[in-house]
Chains A and B, each alone.
Chain A
Amino acid sequence: MRGPRILLVDDEIAFANNIVKLLTKRGYDVMAVNDGASAIRAIGEKEFDVVILDMKMPVMNGIDTLKEIKKKEPLIEVVILTGHGSIESGVEGMQLGAFDFIMKPISIDDLNEKVHQAYQRKLSEEERIKQKNYVG
């Protein structure tokens, strides 16, 4: 059985690499990109269950990226990464359909749990749609 497929979007390469390592070790199939445009591209090429999205990025910021992702793949769950000073953007992200937000600096256990919860929700959501189609 394949692990949950995760797309990590963060412009801090060192941070992204670490998260990839840590989450891979915890059984996830993780891919990292460093900007919003690459993320949209990646979603078009591959299937993902959860996107971990940093809010503060150059060129295309988190909110815009989130909107694009939700437009393309409404079922993908998004976990937002924010700094403490920008809780507002986290809240805004949730209003746009993000699963939850988590504040930097993060502990891997918290992130693991949030991602797991997001994945569970995606699964149940897919199940619900399947049932609906079956019944329909």
Chain B
Amino acid sequence: MKLKSETVVNTNQAKEVKERKDHYSTLHRRFVFLTTVCLLVPLFLVGLGIHIYYSGFSRTRMESYFKSQVEYHRRIIELFLKERTSDLQVVAFTNSLDFLRRPLNLRRIFNVINREDWFFTDLGVIDDKGRHLAYIGPYDLMGKNYSQTFWFKEVMKKGIYISDMFLGFRKAPHFIIAVLRSDGNRKWILRASIDTEYFRSLVENVKMGRTGDVYLSNREGILQTTPRFSGKIMEKAPLPAKFFHEEMGIGILDADKDDPSQQFPRQFVAYAWLKNPRWRLVIKQDYSEAFKDVNHANRAALIFLQLSLILIFIISVISTRYMIKVIKKRDEKTDQLNRQLVQASKLASLGELSAGVAHEINNPLAIILTENQVIRDSVEEALIMDEKFKIELFASLSQIDAQVQRCSLITQNLLRFSRRTKSRTETVNINLFLEEVIQLMEGRAKGMGIQFSTDMEKGLPLLLSDPSQLQQVFLNLITNAIDAHEGKPYGTISITTRSNNQSQGVEIIVGDTGSGISPENMGKIFDPFFTTKSVGRGTGLGLSISYSTVKRLGGDISVQSKMGEGTRFSIFLPFRPSIDVHENLNNVSIKNSSSIEKGA
């Protein structure tokens, strides 16, 4: 039956342990999840906010930069064209046709207008029939008639004309500026072509990074300069024309997914239309390069975020582990307290039980003892001559007597054990008292091969103290001393008393030859619940109770120990404790009795 109930207890315990473990691991997971989420959400929000703000900010900055660049550059190009036009106008309007027809004069003027830089490729004078009257330049165009060309018609109509790029008679891409002069009823045209390379370098004179590009295209989207990437002069521009419907614009252009010819990386594009000629200036840069800083910042933020995530996770795991450890410790302490409570109430009921048993046994013992005496009297009076029989009978009766006394001693001790909780101040002969305590423990000590040796000072004054509490103190100390000999075949517990006149009290030294206390445990031995004994054997309360009891009795307790050699507890008890100690004792007795009632 007992075995069965123990197995049930064991399986219950195993189940409980498993449940605890599951509980802790669930708790662990939840804590880690919660702390991680709690820490990550604000981090993400802050990160997102910064990202949005910074992206918007850098985009605006980039846009305004592109805008100012395209605007500025447009003005430069327009200014250049205007200047060149006015160059021609000045020449046309300050010189007569006759003067300009002479090649020498024309060359001189050509050199003058090209003095600053090589703006013009050639310069020619053309009459109103489209025939070349004079020409300075690298091409042989003297015999050409332009009357059917588009630009001739335009200049005759408008007076000033800047053409788009065209191939013309020279079969090379160029554009011309032509100025019409009406001199009386004679009309003639001064025409110059702009150096294509010079113009290109002028247009391209914008620094736009590695992927940046600048070019001009006309209304039909035909390139007027050769871009750095994709496309050549006079070809179709690489960007769709639909994008450029406003006077000036800026935006992001994605590749057309449906049209394989329109495959290019995402572009950041700014454009502006020139007034005359109607060309558009396009500045573009790969989106990734334009927003390199933002992307870089984003990448850095992402790395930072990932690192934070890892860090947060580690921190939450570590802190959770610590927390679980604390909870575990607290749970264990609670369990231990519960166990001790159970043990204490068990002890209390055991005390009551033993008191009852002792009382009940005392009566039959008294009867046996008197009965023994009756037999003794009867035998003495009877006429029994057999002396040997008489002697044997008396020996047996003496033995009965001795055994009854022994039983009586046991019941006395049981009663004393049950009385331990009652507190009262009495005079105590400490030497006799200690002998009694030793008697109580002698049986147990003998079983473990331990002897008691006493050295008690004779004639010590009586102590005023609570014998039941003192008994508990010394029982605890001696129990510990006996337990300290575990694993040793024999040992000695020495108990010494001597008066301590200086302090008006008695010093009692309980020494043992046991295993001793390790230095790291030395500071903890009086702490409640500290024990080095195996679970279920020691409550860890003995020494702490002893300590508080001795203090309450107005005394002091100290310990010296050497590992492997033994331990010495010195207890000082005053002969006459002060008045408040008495009061303390009375309070304690009330407290004790109430706690026992509760325990019972």
Contacts and interface: CB of A to CB of B under 8 A. Distances in A.
Contact of A22 (B358, B373, B381): B373
Interface residues of A, number: 17
A37 to B, nearest CB: 21
Interface in B383-428: 404-405, 408, 411-412, 415, 418-419
A124 interface: no
Contact of B404 (A12, A84, A105): A105
Interface of B: 355, 358-359, 362-363, 365-371, 373-374, 377, 381, 404-405, 408, 411-412, 415, 418-419
Contacts of A12: 363, 366-367
A25 interface: yes
B358 A85 contact: yes
B412 A15 contact: no
Contacts of B355: 85
B359 A21 contact: no
Contacts of A107: 369, 373
Chain B, interface SS category: helix
Nearest to A81: B366
B373 A84 contact: no
22 contacts: A12-B363, A14-B367, A18-B370, A19-B370, A22-B370, A22-B377, A25-B377, A83-B358, A83-B362, A84-B362, A84-B408, A84-B412, A85-B355, A85-B415, A85-B419, A104-B365, A104-B366, A105-B366, A105-B368, A105-B404, A106-B370, A108-B370
Contacts of A106: 366, 369-370
Given A18-B367, A104-B366, A83 B359 contact: yes
Given A84-B411, A85-B418, A105-B404, A18 B373 contact: yes
Contact of A18 (B363, B374, B415): B374
Nearest to A12: B363
Interface string A37-74: 00000000000000000001000000000000000000
B323 to A, nearest CB: 52
Most buried by B among A14, A18, A107: A18
Nearest to B360: A83
A108 B370 CA distance: 7
Contacts of B358: 83-85
A56 B360 CA distance: 11
Contact of A105 (B377, B408, B415, B418): B408
Contacts of B365: 104-105
B359 to A, nearest CB: 6
A135 B371 CA distance: 49
Interface in A7-31: 12, 14-15, 18-19, 21-22, 25
B363 A15 contact: yes
B374 A104 contact: no
Most buried by B among A15, A18, A21, A105: A105
Contact of A15 (B366, B415, B419): B366
Interface in A97-125: 104-108
A90 to B, nearest CB: 14
B359 A108 contact: no
A133 to B, nearest CB: 40
